[in-house]
A and B are shown apart, each in its own frame.
Chain A
């Protein structure tokens, strides 16, 4: 077997395939080697040197993450030499790091802190370097706070921004002691191409990159008797929250989460899935309208393919990178913003509340949503449509602060009026979900029949592949859509902005003939969002995805257009999809932005 090598680690023999790193081989033997700059989502950097191990016969130690196994290697992962060196490295990192842990947002979930604790670094023998540095904090972005004093220069954020997102908002500058992670011309994060996706936060081992939190503001709103605080929860939160509370990845917590939110004191606990269903009606109708204009009216000004607009990270990305394609975006607001606009109009009216007394809070797996809520155009209700956006992580903090024993909560249902949802709404949380939900509805509108997939599961659009393509042929449509007879509806799905770039470049070069494309900024879709629990990695994303589809499967209603509350909303308030009220409240415009 030429592709296999035999080696020993701490005296235990193992056979592994040739390209296996020492780190992975050790893991197979149940030996954990500590790491900091290593992350499963990213290429190997080998720069923190925490994972060094001793290879017999070599004076120098080798980085386990970056060194492939070789035949006959004898490796020691915990020799005295390794331990002393590793301890030194942790001490060095701490000497350069603002280790004021009690005042750190990541206190208790910090990889450096964990290592320091594991190695019992009880004293600071080396000189404190922090006072010698001109560390700065950038807190100008509504989404992300960047605190250089906490940075350990592992470059995980830089690799994330480049490899997963293709954005390159973060980069290294300077060298030696002045080496740091910064932005173009050291501008503030809010002034550069940053999409606020928060993947850097999710990949940061320390507190150098954290979300801007709105925890206190939300507590204040809840405590204010004059305010009616409504909360909406995004689809992906219910399958991620558990990890923050010590449960296994992929634990489904919808009912308990609703119960917790009620205990926290929110006046009404509602569901973003409701406006996800609404998005499908609006966006589906928009797609069909565009197709009609293009195919029947031969209107050449119609922009196809149409791209989804639910992911605010993706929106900011296209605004910066492909501003010439903004007309291809669906004009639909994201479900969060549709919800916000309706909460202070439709909901306020129905509940007989003054919109200025409504505080609209959303729980999102996302940090870009914080930016989205702050967009100047998101005031269509006459007020700020969404007041505060909390991440999944922040919700967990609320729950912990309130002292709720999550295990003992009884499952509860969402409140009514904007709390009803379908399986199509919940799958918005996974890559391909919007596409699947849209197809379930659009196909049925056009043909009068359900999509021809078993149990409505459109499996070709599911899964973790970076770019997915699917097509569905329309046959025997109902009379209104007769012009679509025989048309093969071509779709593409991209998640992770680096994959969005692949699709956009294809479009730019005229090599794509898609009709409809779903774009999600984060790997795996919202379930892998920048506001989700840390760590997030491929296995965890997979588990969350399975949970999302299980939620869908268990829902009594699986198609957005069957959502009775959505139907009622149209009957009582909106009248028709793409109608005047919709146009005013549910649709938006985009902004051309520079690359720098």
Chain B
């Protein structure tokens, strides 16, 4: 029989446990080296930018309600609208939001007292607010309007000073991302307890490890590209100007060498979250644990070989086929994950909690985004739908249907640990319904208008697409409204939610083997991980979970066999 290892904390008195209070709200506004505070700082900052980026999206959909230019004063104003929407959502919402969960959860899952470099961690966070402000300051000069991809010559010859601020802000965010990722890699490789081999590590840690490897290897390329852009804009060099011997494709190559892997920076942590959430809320071990961990690494590696599929229409023809093949290959490790998730929930005791609903939502949406990704990898199809709404639909299915759904799943799942309070499940389910339907009806029809030929990044379109666009805009407003439900739920639950206890989901990973919220040093003593982080369904697992309950919540032992 497996060893029943009991996490630490059991020796404490009830008074000691009750003494763990939530940090005062003012602590979140100050410099702190506590990874839990920094995690919340990342999270709240990202959420604020999510609201700004979401408001800009509503502006886009308002403009597209009619085929004419009516809501925005000019096409240029519309350009800056979608430019800032994309930039904010990618650089200031999704990427830092994963840093939020990574920061809060990863050291806890590893049983560590903090990240490897706490000061560096705080520094990496505090680069983000000024970077965001610098980017937004563009609105006071002339905002960036070359799209989030910032292709020259749009970003050199046809964009105002806001584009320079955009590049400076992106530079700071890149630095933050590199520093944060170095910290994650060192923490994950060096700070595990002796019992936790790399093959016993929670899958979120695997995902964050893979993400961080991508970030440290790819982000320096973004720094290189941005340096060239700044030089071209400010010092008169001609790296992107053909008249001076430069090359506009240079930007595309270097930018996408970062930005395609960045797509995986945005989704891999979500995949890690999904493995956690699906397993815990269906009380089943993760199906094919090793393959899931390794597939994260495979995605990270193969992700570096596909960047030129963004340039199918501008690339030398002889390079198209190789990039088409590598792009299709990346569907394999992604497919492994999808089948693992299906295998995980198959036959499980599924609890339809809000976290689980968003997890299932992720699966259904991401599979659509994945399939359209393979469609776009096919060269003849890609050339047909290049720069149309089909592409807009595809990447929203992976970035919203994927990343944002996973962010919501993670929120409902770890909110009790972060705040010590449960979120309201009824509101959570209402939020899910509005988000799921709002999202699906917003983005699915975009496939159709895209294939019919509606180009992306236009404020004025063929009136034949009006009905589709009205439907899309209406659903987008519903989707926008759904955000207020979760915001209300967060605030309400923070103050009035039921007390969560240490382990409300009866999970086996170490972040649940301490109080909610955890004390400043995370654990009162070195915790002992359970031998299999997802070994649900055994008596030993039930005993471990009961031991946590006994240690922290002083409950009576539950009837055995429940897990």
Q: Do A and B bind each other?
A: no
- A residues in contact (CB < 8 Å) with B: none
B contacts, CB < 8 Å to A: none
